[in-house]
């Protein structure tokens, strides 16, 4: 186990060093290909070993190392050569994750979810409860701000559609499609009422993000459900996945238009070296590449570290302390352009403690990912798959934002914990009856 890790670390170091030299030499395509092919190789190896398309280490390699490979193409004028410290931090983040993810025990045989009418009923209650809470909170926010983003002419209307504390519940409807997948897996016979209730709940999961003009929430809802579907189905229905992709592309484009972001506006922000690059290439490219540029801005420009203040933001936000002590959230943000504010998973860790903070966070996340992978293989409570699905999404979008210093992340995890206890309570009841039977 340890020897394998050392061998992987050495190979990764060689790849990163080669990519660094190629980038500094202006051979950006080679710099990119080294990292991209390495990430693809890790993903393929992990898939062959685990048989899991959403293996956490594989996803993280694709997002973190592969994302850096895409950024190394330097297709935008916003991009520059990264600092040596930036390269070192990117490398240590991946190696730290791998060290935490090392297998310390054999993987238990996967236990499939059993049909369970009681648990299915509770999952249905969770989905319906989230739908009702989402609509109620959406109405509260509408009455408070006086507009619905979809019908507003403001370029960033969604940014103003927030009532502190309430918005967490408004957007929690995006958990519903994944819950529906679990319900379908554990429910043996479904009634017409079940179809109607789940239909209404899932319409909510789509309608609220559309009304909020939030592309991310919509994509998260679908992506989360797809991850859970892959986890719980050994024989995948590829037609369903392709159909979802075909549907999501025009919806994503439509929401982009609804946000009053036309092609000219976006091209002006992205500042591509080739102005004729199609927007459907430019937009995803910048949404991946510029996050690493923002990280490099932090490394090169940071004046002093904040020693935990950035990573503790969820505590300040969820307790309301940010309103009492606004200076806690007053630290400047270092980015290439005001409109491009996504930051990568490890931005705040570096802001707080530098390279040491990134390495420690990567170790913790890798260790937690390994434990969670072992946990769901043991079977039992179906809500465990929701934990895995969320963390898998965060790792698969490691280039996107500071997931673990985002209060919404912790709110969703707390909400999932409540559902886990609610749905899993049946097991305690059964254990109690079983022990009485022994007596």
What pLDDT does 83 receive?
Answer: 97
pTM equals 0.90
For tokens 């500071």, name the residue: 402
Instruction: Give CA–CA dist 197/203, Å, rounded.
Output: 10
Report H helices in 81-214.
Answer: 84-101, 117-145, 157-160, 167-170, 176-186, 192-212
Backbone angles phi and psi of 190, in degrees to 5: -115, 135
DSSP for 395-408, written as a single string: HHTTTT--GGG-HH
For tokens 């990119």, name the residue: 32
Task: Provide the domain limits for residue 415.
Answer: 117-264+401-438
CB 254 within 8 A of CB 206: no
Report H helices in 302-346.
Answer: 313-319, 321-324
Which percentage of the chain shows pLDDT scores above 70? Answer: 86
Query: Reduced to 3 states, what is the DSSP secondary structure of residue 323?
Result: helix
What pLDDT does 40 receive?
Answer: 96
User: What number is the average pLDDT over the span 299-317?
Assistant: 93
- Name the residue among 94, 179, 177 with its Cα closest to residue 369: 94
What pLDDT does 434 receive?
Answer: 35
124 vs 51, higher pLDDT: 124
For the chain, what's the residue count? 439
What pLDDT does 277 receive?
Answer: 78
- In this structure, of 169-183, 265-279, 319-333, 344-358, the range with the lowest mean pLDDT score is 265-279
- In this structure, of 18-22, 131-135, 281-285, the range with the lowest mean pLDDT score is 281-285
What pLDDT does 417 receive?
Answer: 96
Question: How many other CB atoms are there within 10 angstroms of residue 17's CB atom?
Answer: 13
pLDDT band at 1 (very low <50, low <70, confident <90, very high): confident
Q: Is residue 21 part of a domain?
A: no
Tell me how many degrees the CA angle 336-340-341 measures, rounded to the nearest 5: 95
Instruction: Give CA–CA dist 38/48, Å, rounded.
Output: 15
Q: Is residue 214 part of a domain?
A: yes
Question: How many other CB atoms are there within 10 angstroms of residue 438's CB atom?
Answer: 5
CB 46 within 8 A of CB 55: yes
Question: How many other CB atoms are there within 10 angstroms of residue 393's CB atom?
Answer: 21
Most confidently modeled range among 349-363, 371-385, 424-438: 349-363
CB 371 within 8 A of CB 205: no
- Name the residue among 296, 358, 289, 357 with its Cα closest to residue 86: 296
Q: What is the pLDDT of residues 102-112, one digit of tens each?
A: 876 556 556 67
CB 411 within 8 A of CB 75: no
pLDDT band at 274 (very low <50, low <70, confident <90, very high): confident
User: What number is the average pLDDT over the span 231-239?
Assistant: 72
Q: What is the mean pLDDT of the chain?
A: 87
Q: Is residue 158 part of a domain?
A: yes
CB 114 within 8 A of CB 177: no
User: What number is the average pLDDT over the span 411-416?
Assistant: 96
Q: Is residue 338 part of a domain?
A: no
Tell me how many degrees the CA angle 404-350-174 measures, rounded to the nearest 5: 20
User: What number is the average pLDDT over the span 369-386?
Assistant: 87
The pair of structure tokens assigned to 208 is 């609220």
User: What number is the average pLDDT over the span 19-23?
Assistant: 97
What pLDDT does 438 receive?
Answer: 34
The pair of structure tokens assigned to 75 is 């297709």
User: What number is the average pLDDT over the span 283-312?
Assistant: 93
Instruction: Give CA–CA dist 357/342, Å, rounded.
Output: 19
Q: Is residue 369 part of a domain?
A: no
Which residues are registered as beta bridge partners of 76? 272
* C-alpha pair distances (Å), 123 with each of 275, 283, 332, 371, 381: 49, 37, 42, 24, 11
What pLDDT does 376 receive?
Answer: 85
Instruction: Give CA–CA dist 291/277, Å, rounded.
Output: 20
Instruction: Give CA–CA dist 389/56, Å, rounded.
Output: 10
Q: Is residue 207 part of a domain?
A: yes
The structural domain count of the chain equals 1
Which percentage of the chain shows pLDDT scores above 90? Answer: 59
- Name the residue among 409, 300, 400, 307 with its Cα closest to residue 357: 307
Q: What is the pLDDT of residues 141-153, one digit of tens each?
A: 999 988 898 887 7
**Chain mean position to CA 125:** 25
Q: Is residue 192 part of a domain?
A: yes
Say whether pLDDT at 432 is over 50: no
Q: Is residue 373 part of a domain?
A: no
CA atoms within 13 A on the CB side of 414: 11
For tokens 């059964």, name the residue: 430
Q: What is the pLDDT of residues 157-202, one digit of tens each?
A: 677 788 888 999 999 999 999 999 999 999 888 888 989 999 999 9
- Name the residue among 403, 426, 407 with its Cα closest to residue 415: 407
């Amino acid at each position: 186990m340890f020897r394998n890790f050392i061998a992987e670390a050495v190979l990764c170091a060689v790849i990163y060093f080669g990519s660094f030299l190629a980038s500094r030499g202006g051979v950006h395509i080679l710099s990119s290909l080294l990292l991209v092919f390495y990430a693809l190789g890790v993903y393929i190896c992990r898939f062959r070993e685990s048989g899991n398309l959403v293996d956490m280490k594989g996803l993280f390699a694709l997002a973190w190392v592969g994302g850096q490979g895409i950024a190394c193409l330097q297709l935008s004028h916003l991009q520059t050569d990264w600092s040596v410290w930036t390269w070192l931090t990117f490398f240590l983040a991946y190696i730290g994750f791998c060290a935490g993810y090392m297998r310390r025990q054999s993987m238990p045989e996967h236990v499939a979810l059993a049909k369970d009418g009681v648990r299915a009923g509770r999952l249905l209650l969770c989905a319906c409860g989230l739908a009702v809470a989402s609509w109620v909170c959406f109405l509260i926010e509408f009455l408070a701000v006086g507009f619905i983003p979809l019908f507003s002419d403001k370029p960033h209307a969604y940014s103003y559609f927030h009532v502190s504390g309430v918005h967490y519940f408004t957007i929690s409807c995006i958990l519903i499609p994944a819950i529906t997948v679990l319900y379908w897996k554990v429910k043996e016979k479904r009634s017409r009422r079940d179809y109607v209730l789940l239909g209404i709940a899932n319409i909510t999961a789509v309608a609220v993000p559309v009304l909020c003009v939030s592309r991310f929430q919509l994509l998260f809802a679908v992506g989360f459900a797809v991850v859970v579907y892959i986890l719980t189905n050994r024989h995948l229905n590829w037609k369903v996945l392709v159909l979802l992709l075909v549907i999501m592309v025009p919806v994503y484009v439509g929401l982009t238009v609804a946000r009053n972001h036309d092609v000219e506006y976006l091209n002006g922000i992205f500042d591509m070296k080739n102005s004729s690059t199609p927007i459907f290439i430019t937009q995803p490219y910048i949404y991946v590449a510029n996050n690493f540029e923002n990280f490099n801005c932090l490394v090169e420009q940071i004046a002093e570290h904040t020693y935990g203040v950035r990573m503790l933001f969820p505590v300040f936000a969820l307790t309301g302390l940010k309103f009492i002590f606004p200076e806690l959230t007053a630290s400047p943000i270092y980015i290439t352009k005001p409109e491009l504010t996504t930051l990568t998973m490890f931005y705040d860790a570096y802001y707080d403690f530098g390279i040491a903070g990134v390495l420690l966070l990567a170790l913790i996340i890798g260790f937690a990912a390994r434990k969670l992978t072992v946990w769901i293989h043991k079977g039992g409570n179906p809500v465990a798959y929701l934990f895995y699905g969320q963390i898998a999404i965060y790792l698969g979008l490691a280039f996107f934002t500071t997931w673990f210093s985002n209060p919404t992340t912790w709110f969703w995890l707390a909400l999932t914990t409540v559902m886990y206890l609610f749905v899993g309570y049946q097991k305690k009841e059964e254990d109690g009856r079983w022990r009485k039977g022994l007596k």
